[in-house]
Structure 1
Amino acid sequence: MTLKVKGKLEVTLSRANGLANNDFLKNVDSYVILKYASTQVKASCVSYAPTVSRSCPWWNEFFYFDVITNGVNVLTMELYDNATHKFIGIANIPLDVVFFVDSIPETDYQIFTDYGLYVGDIYVALTFTREED
């Protein structure tokens, strides 16, 4: 059975962790492209809290997506190096649960390269507000 939902998805992009634990990612200023269905938005270039290392970028940004779906249930987050625009990795966030429970607190999702290499975690909170037909 295909899940059919309609409403607004709020995505809170908080931070990432562990990016500099990989030799090729040291001192990366990163940004994120969020994709849901046919909508794509770009987070600003990362900022760092004074006590946070460059391996732990912070965004603290909010994004909103219209949800009118017949089974589209994944939010994709692609990380890129701001200086070179090289792809760092991707996190695919399943949305089925938030469509049922309406809210998921900040949770970490793993980031992988195209080759399946783990490169860190991204922290995201999700809220879904259902709209009636």
Structure 2
Amino acid sequence: MIDTSNPHALKKKVSTDYDTTIGAIKAALAEQGFGILTEIDVAATLKKKLDVDTPRAIILGACNPKLAHRAMSLVPDVSVFLPCNVVVRENNGGEVEIAALNPETMGQMIANPGLVEVADEANKRIRAAIDAVN
């Protein structure tokens, strides 16, 4: 079940291991029309830049081109919210969580009825992708 206690994030703890979860969420996002534009290995970056050890985490920059085009055609500045970040992270106990920016945040921050529609569709697709991973 997706945790929505933070209105700006969609989160879910999963039973799969870190590497399996990354593959599963990439596949689930692809099923929902999202491609992965960027991958940031947060732990490796922090180790390299700050010489600190942190639990593994990856930020996937996911984009659904059709939704992105619709949104940017309505409000060009919505591009500051793109791509949609989806995070897979592991805590110190080895538990794995998927988290994503709630696309409805875009619709709330930028008052445009058409953008609200796009954000709602993106929300449904991101939720479906997260729900597909166990």
Same fold (TM over 0.5): no
TM-score for the superposition, normalised by structure 1? 0.29
Greater share of strand:
1
TM-score by length of 2: 0.29
